[in-house]
Each structure stands twice: as structure tokens, then as C-alpha cells.
Amino acid sequence: MSKKVLDALTAKFPSAIVRTATANGDEIAWIKRDDLLAVAKWLRDDPAMAFDAPVFCTCIDWLDWKPQHNNRPPPEWGSAWNETKPRFTVCYQLRSVAHKHRLRLEIELPENDPRCASLAELWPAFNWQERETFDMYGIKFENHPDLRRIYLYEEFVGYPLRKDYPKEKRQPLVRRDDLPINPIKAEHK
């Protein structure tokens, strides 16, 4: 895959880019949180870039990150490999219909302030996907038209895809009247 996109992006917004990488066939650019909206707008409107098709929006929670070094550490991550990572990284993947190139924007967010600008006005597909990221990880998207839970019900407490939410912790809405809450285990005879 060509690096044209990354070069043009670095040339246009030198201060907004934290680093870029080409890894496993993808182009990735880490953007500072405050410059995200400007960068995204330029990526959509500039004719040479023309990223008009949104692909996905998700988040990575780095809380349990302990990479094994039995293989080599990925060279494209550079010095970032050994740094302590911020808690969350929001990823936006974009695609261009005309030029057929792809780009992933990654924004690092700290644990105590997981806010990010919403790209829902630029690409309508991100409306629901940002709601999903909010539902699962608790990332608050600023200026999102309708930020509420999408997969889970409103009574659900917590953000389940965070690494500190136990997988099997259920929060049931209804239960049968005759089912005991804590069934007594039968003793082995």
C-alpha cells in the first residue's frame, strides 16, 4: 500500500500527528485529540484524499496490555512499544471510493477524561458506531446528536467491554418468581 496518504497528512498537519505507521497492510496515523475534527474534515473534503466512506469506529482498552516478547515487538510501533499506553485508543477507519485508499486514525485518551470529538456530522455511519463505542467503553463523544446506549438497556450499569468488567456479571431485568436467587447447592452423597 502506498504511503502517499500518510505523507500528505504529515505535510498538512505536522503538529496534529503524533506518529504514523504502516503495519500489516494498513496505514495508521495517531492524531492528537484536539485536532481530530480538523484533520477529519480535511480528509473528507480534500479532492486528493476524498475519504468519503466510513468503515468502522471502535476503541481499544489497554488496561491488561502485557505483550509477550517471544516474537519480536512490532518494528512499526517504534518507541511507543515500551511506553506506558494511555487507557483508551479510539480508532476510526476510513476509505476512499474514488482513490481506493484506506486510513486508520487513532486517538489516545486518558483514563480520567475519555472524551473525543464526534465525527457523526461528517460521516453519518459513525453516529451509531460512536453510540456503540460509548455503550461498550464509556467514551463520551462531544457534539454527538444522540449519545445513548445502543446495544444494552438503560438500566445497565457499567461499560462491559472495559477490561475491568467481569465477563459473566449479569444484570438481569426480569426473573421468574419461583426461582431462588441463590440456589442451595445439592450435597454429594
Partner 1 sequence: MGVELSTTRLEDAAKWAKQGKLARIPEWGRKFSLFTYPFVTACCGMEFMSVAGPKYDLARFGAEFPRFSPRQSDLLMIVGTITEKQGPALKRVYDQMAEPKWVIAFGVCASTGGFYQNYHAMPGADQVIPVDVYIPGCPPRPEQVLDALIMLMDRIQDGRGHSQLRLKREQVIASGTEE
Partner 2 sequence: MADAQTLKQLVLGRKDVQDLSDTEQEPPPDLMTVNMGPSHPAMHGTVRIVLTVDGEKIVKSDIHPGYLHRCFEKESEYATYTQVFPYTDRLNYVSPMINNCGWAMAVEKLMGLTGKLPKRVEYIRVIISEMSRMTDHLTCIGASAMELGAFTAFLYFLKSREWLYELLEKISGARLTHSYVRVGGVAKDLPADWDADLTHCLDKIVGVIDEVEVMLNNNKIFRDRMAGIGAMTRADAIASGCVGPIARACGVDYDVRRDHPYSVYPELEFDVPLGTTGDCYDRYLVRVEELKQCIRILRQCQKQIPDGPIMVDDPRCSLPPKTDTYNTIESMIRHFKHIMDGVRVPAGEGYAFVEGGNGELGFFVVADGTGRPYKAYCRSPSFVHLSTAGQLIHDHFIADVVPIFGMINMIGGECDK
Residue 186 beta carbon to partner 2: minimum distance, rounded to whole angstroms? 28
Q: Does 185 bind partner 1 (CB under 8 A)?
A: no
171 binds, among partner 2, partner 1, none (CB under 5 to 8 A by kind): partner 1
Residue 116 beta carbon to partner 2: minimum distance, rounded to whole angstroms? 17
CA distance 135 to 159: 6
Q: Are strands 88-95 and 53-61 parallel, antiparallel or unpaired?
A: antiparallel
| Chain CA centroid to CA 36, Å | 13
Residue 176 beta carbon to partner 2: minimum distance, rounded to whole angstroms? 19
Residue 65 beta carbon to partner 1: minimum distance, rounded to whole angstroms? 22
Q: If you ran DSSP here, which 8-state letter would residue 73 be given?
A: P
State the DSSP string of 113-177: --EEE--TTT-THHHHHHHHHHHHH-PEEET-TT---SSS-TT--S-TTSTTS-TT----S---T
18 binds, among partner 2, partner 1, none (CB under 5 to 8 A by kind): none
The amino acid at residue 31 is I
Residue 72 beta carbon to partner 2: minimum distance, rounded to whole angstroms? 7
Question: What residues from 145 to 174 belong to the interface with partner 1 (CB under 8 A)?
Answer: 151-153, 160, 165-174
Q: 12 vs 5, 37, 50, 111, CA distance in Å?
A: 11, 14, 15, 29
Interacting residue ranges for partner 2, rule: CB under 8 A: 23-26, 28, 52-56, 58, 60-61, 64-74, 76-77, 91, 93, 97, 100, 104, 123-125, 127-129, 132, 136, 149-153, 160-161, 167
The footprint of partner 1 (CB under 8 A) covers 151-153, 160, 165-176, 179
